[in-house]
Structures are given as C-alpha cells and as structure tokens.
Structure 1
Amino acid sequence: MASTDREVAEEFLPFLRVYKDGTYDRLIDPPLVSPSPCCPQTGVSSKDIVLFPETGVSARVYLPPLPQTHTEKLPILVYFHGGGFCVGSPFSVADHNYMTSICAKAKILVISVDYRLAPTHPLPTAYDDAFSALKWVASHSSDDHHFEEWLVKYGDFNKIFLGGESAGGNIAHNVAMRAGHHGLPNGIKVLGVFLVHPYFWGSKPIMSEPKDGHEQCKGTRIWNFVYPGCAGGIDAAEVNPLADGAPSLAKIGCSRLLVCVAGNDELRDRGIWYYEGVKKSGFGGEVELSIAEGEGHVFHIFSPEKKSSKNLLVLLATFINK
C-alpha cells in the first residue's frame, strides 16, 4: 500500500500527476532523437546549440538543403513546442520530425526553443526564456554578433516568424506582445506569427463551452498549477488576452497573424474568440483563421501523415512564404 505522502493530490492528464508530498511525475516522456547532419528523407540538417549557459536554455536549429550556388536569405522561424508548459521538448521524435517537415516544406531556417518547464520552473519562466531566445536571434542581425553561423550566413532578419502549438501557441502570442511593447535588438521586427490550437482560457465560458464545472476544468487547474500566485489568476492577460484590463491586441508585435483551430478541440472557441478580438482591436496587419473540421487537439503532431495534417503543413509554409 502506498504511503500517505505519495497519495495523489491532483492530476493534469495527460501531462502530470502531482502527489501530496509536493513531488510529481511527468506522464508524457516522449523518446528523444539526436540532431542529424542530413535527414535521409528531406535533406534537412539539424544541430543543437546552447543559447544561455547560465540557465541551460538551448535550441535545435534546422537548415533546409540548399544548392552550393544559393545566395538568397531564408525566413527565420522561432518555434515553441506544446505540452501544457510542463512536458515536451524540441528534441522529442514527434517535434523533431515536424520541425524537419516544416523546414523542408517552407525552405526556412528554424530555431526550436527548449524553454524551461513548470513546475520546476513555474511561469513566467517559459515566457522569459522564449522572449530572450527571440532577442538572441535578433541580435545576430548586427555585424558584431556572430554566435550562430547558420543564422548569420542564411537568415533573413526582415522575415522573422514566431510559431507554436497549444501551450507553445500561447507562448508565441505572449512573446509577440512583449516584442510589440518592448521592441527587439537592432530595431528588428517580427513579420508574422502563427498559433496552432493555442491555449487560452478564462473564468467565464464563452460560445459553445459547457457552463457546468467550468471553474474546475483542466484549462483552469493547469494554469493555476503552472503559474501559482499569478496576478489575475485565470483571467490574467497571458492566458485570457481578452480579459477586462488586458493590453490591447492591437499592440501585438507582428504584421501578419494566423490562428489555426481544430473543430473537435475544447480550445477551439477560445482560438476563434482571440482571432475575432484581434480583428476588432485595431490591429493594422493581416489576420487569418483556419478551422480543421473534425480534428482534435494537435492532431498534426500525433498523426502527421493524415491529409488534414499535410494540409496544415502547406498552410503554414504558404503563410510564411506569401
């Protein structure tokens, strides 16, 4: 029989199980894969780099196959994986394969950021790590910064994009908001942001969200766990960007925005609400919405061979290269 101090206090399926003694188990432990000098299927090269030795924040960088005569600079995608802020890795098989696919399809340079995870590092750590990573990328636009050869040699700093799925979509939004309010090194601007099935929530149900039990649902509980003591709680601007008193979405730091939702995802209505909120905010750029009817949350990561997943990949590549 298990001891009292190992009794389960709370579960955040499928991510985490928390015990009464304060310890926890990450329930998703995806297999990791090493970078490759040349992916056999796509020709994409990848490598791992440490961005900030003091925190251990690192990234996996992807470069598409290029002819020796190639001189045109490539768009840069700074990407944030999902996993409820508490699981996941750019080095997992699923995330690595998807980044390889989008790198090859869109012919872009990808920086997939390994931000620190809650609850060991509660929010806003992930936001801080992610924004620091974006500033690190932007710093390479100056002649006196030559930290990462691929960025300097191949990156087009007039075409920087942010992207992410689920919690990573939430991170991409918050990083774009910080960029809009605080700017980036050397005056660099983010051109576009895409959010795939982004995690947003709030204290009051909207649209078709069920009215009963809303305050005890997973969307609320996971936020209170990964960001304990957050001012505003589940209606903080970071998770509910349309809450009363939240900064105007007109200040999001990009020129183009794409929001992707899935028809059978419990986060669908929040994504649509966010899209409508940006449109009404006075945002001066382009805003697009894509709905994958009949699909569930992050279907493209778990089932990349499905037609709908391939359609999403084409959509993202087109958004970046339009």
Structure 2
Amino acid sequence: MSSTTAPASAVPATELVPAHVVEDLQGIVQLLSDGTVKRFQLPQVLPPPPVRWKDVVYDETHNLSLRVFVPPLAGAEKLPVIVYFHGGGFVINSFASTEFHAACLRLAGELPAVVLSVDYRLAPEHRLPAAHDDADAFFSWLRAQAAATTDLWLAESADFGRVFVSGDSAGGNIAHHAIVRIGSGALATGAARVAGCILLYPFFGGEQRTASEAAGSNDIYLTLPVSDQMWRLALPAGASRDHPLANPFGPDSPALDSVALPPLLVVAGTRDLLVDRIKDFVARLNATGKKRAEFVEFPGKGHAFFSVEHDGEVTGEMIRDVLRPFVHGGAAAPAS
C-alpha cells in the first residue's frame, strides 16, 4: 500500500503541536489539522481488456485524463458515446480504479458503445465546484472532437450525434448538473448531441433526512456517517448539504421547469441509503411538467452495486434489459 500527501490549503507550517488526523474516511483519505491530506492507494490490478482502451489528456492545465473504451464494430454503423463520471463521494476513486475500469469495459462491450470514462479533481484538496468545473472542461474537449475529430479511434467508432451523459453516485451528481448547464445554455456541446442521461444511484444530499436515511437502511456500501463525512470534505467550507450542488431541489437551487433536459433514466437499488432521496428527485423532476425521467429499481441492491458488482448477474441484467434499450432505442424495461 502506498500513500501520497498534498496540502489542502495554504496553512503556515509553524504549529508547534504535531499535526493530527481530524477526518479519516475509511483509512483511504485522511485530513490532518495542518491542512495536509494523506491518500492511501491500493495497488491496482487491471483485468485483461475485452475491448480496446487507452488514456487521453483532456485538460492539460490540471493534467486530467479520460479513458477511451472502444469495442469491435459489428458493422459499418458507428456506436453511441457514453460519457461516464465515476463515483466516490467526490473524495475517493478515479477512472483508473479497478472496479470502474472493469465496469466500463463491460459497459462498452455489452451495450455496445464507445465509453469515455472521465477523471476529475477530488476533495478535500479541490472542493466543489472543482469536479463540476472539470466536467465543463471535458465537454469543451468533446465539443472540439465532435467538430473535427483528431483521435483516430473516435473518428472510426464514435457517433457524436448520440451522446449519453452518465455516472454513478458522485458521478451521477456531476452528470445531472452537466445536463442542467447544457439544457440552460450555460454549457455548449456543439456538434455533440446529448441524446439522453443515465444516473446510477446519484449522490444527492439535503439537511432534512429522508425515511431511508433516517432509518439507516441496510446498505452495506454507503452508511449515513460516511455520506455526511463525504459532504463535509467535498462541499465548500461552511456549506450545508442544502448547497445547490448537493441538493438539486434545495432552497437556493435554481428552478428546473424551463431547462431543456434530455430523456433521463435513473437507477437505484431498494437497499440504497439514498433510495428515498433519489425517488423524490425523480418525482420532483417529473412534477415540473411533462414526464422527464424513468426510474428503475433493483430489489435487494445497495449503493454502488454497478461498480462493486461489475461482474455480477444483476449488472449484466441492467446493461442488457435497462441501459441497452435506453441507449439503442425504445423504453427502458423494468428490472425483474
């Protein structure tokens, strides 16, 4: 196991008392009293790829990359593009984490689709809105590729007329805010046409607890203390969980009634700590006018099941019976 350290803020190193841990996120990320952040990284073992993949820098300023996954073409027709933002509460993981790499390999091969798995800066070194700003930088890169593709893999395989913005957990949060900015005209995509949005158990928050949060649910991947800790580390200093980037229907959040959103598919498990918050998000979104979002619920599944159980039967069922019809045409089938 290796570790890295980085200053979270410009705090003078003049303290006589040794720095101590003030936040410890499951032994993976530690925030010290002097502002230093320690990250402990497990060695990554990548499974053999069933599809081609490579890394491409999309933002040289912040040295940010994305991972391109391209399955074999079945015919002459190009494939839809899945933009994927990984989960991790804005604090942990990356596009190169083993589970996200494996999940995107499966997603690309079984949909099939060109998958662009996008990395972004993490908190607490880079608190929100850094991750959302990085999403904007990615769409600037995507817009340039759609206008004049310089990447040979994308020129060969990607249909920029069918782009689906997606992500799981924190990545679902990023995907939601990206399509809101696109739909309101604040973020341009040019020739890259957003045909839909896929939110896998999006990581939203709020000061008022939902029933599933208050009960603690029986989610084995996300607990209420961990969720609260991630928001403390990710949100701007002093912000509450009703911040617009956490709570899309919070007291200071912009109205979505007039925003031109693409069709949305929202997925969650019945054991997810956030399931009631996600259901409320879908209901409120659909209450703004015409029905904008389809909700699919998987019995017995908790938060993060797509990445953690990337090789499982339920993930295969979700790709085959829910995501594939949504991406390739037709309504998403309910989970059985």
**TM-score, normalising length: structure 2:** 0.82
SS across alignment from 2:61: coil
C-alpha displacement at 1:233, in angstroms?
2.8
The equivalent of 1:192 in structure 2 is 196
CA-to-aligned-CA distance 1:7-40 (integer Å, 9 cap, x gap)? 3212333652222232233356461549x7xx3x
The equivalent of 2:268 in structure 1 is 261
C-alpha displacement at 1:141, in angstroms?
2.4
Which amino acid in structure 2 is aligned with residue 267 of structure 1? Answer: L
The equivalent of 1:72 in structure 2 is 77
Within a 5 Å distance, the mapping from 1:279-298 to structure 2 comes to 279-282=286-289, 284=290, 286-298=292-304
Which amino acid in structure 2 is aligned with residue 200 of structure 1? Answer: F
Distance (Å, rounded) in 2 between the aligned partners of 1:135 and 1:160:
14
Q: Is the 8 A contact 1:140 1:147 kept in 2?
A: yes
Is 1:8 paired with 2:31?
no
Within a 5 Å distance, the mapping from 1:124-163 to structure 2 comes to 124-142=129-147, 145-163=148-166
Is 1:179 paired with 2:182?
yes
Distance (Å, rounded) in 2 between the aligned partners of 1:285 and 1:155:
29
Which amino acid in structure 1 is aligned with residue 243 of structure 2? Answer: A
Is 1:164 paired with 2:171?
no
C-alpha displacement at 1:271, in angstroms?
0.9
Within a 5 Å distance, the mapping from 1:78-93 to structure 2 comes to 78-93=83-98
- Unaligned runs of 5+ residues in structure 2 are 1-15, 217-223, 330-336
Aligned length: 305
Q: Sequence identity, in percent? A: 31
The equivalent of 1:47 in structure 2 is 54
- Unaligned runs of 5+ residues in structure 1 are none
Q: 2:241 aligns with which of 231, 234, 237?
A: 234
CA-to-aligned-CA distance 1:198-230 (integer Å, 9 cap, x gap)? 110101112343189xxx944334223212236
C-alpha displacement at 1:92, in angstroms?
2.0
Distance (Å, rounded) in 2 between the aligned partners of 1:290 and 1:60:
27
Q: Is the 8 A contact 2:243 2:253 kept in 1?
A: yes
The equivalent of 1:110 in structure 2 is 115
The equivalent of 1:23 in structure 2 is 36
Distance (Å, rounded) in 1 between the aligned partners of 2:136 and 2:45:
25
SS across alignment from 1:235: coil
SS across alignment from 2:108: helix
C-alpha displacement at 1:176, in angstroms?
1.1
Which amino acid in structure 1 is aligned with residue 100 of structure 2? Answer: D
Q: Is the 8 A contact 1:138 1:157 kept in 2?
A: no
Q: How large is the Cα RMSD of the aligned pairs?
A: 2.5
Which amino acid in structure 1 is aligned with residue 295 of structure 2? Answer: L
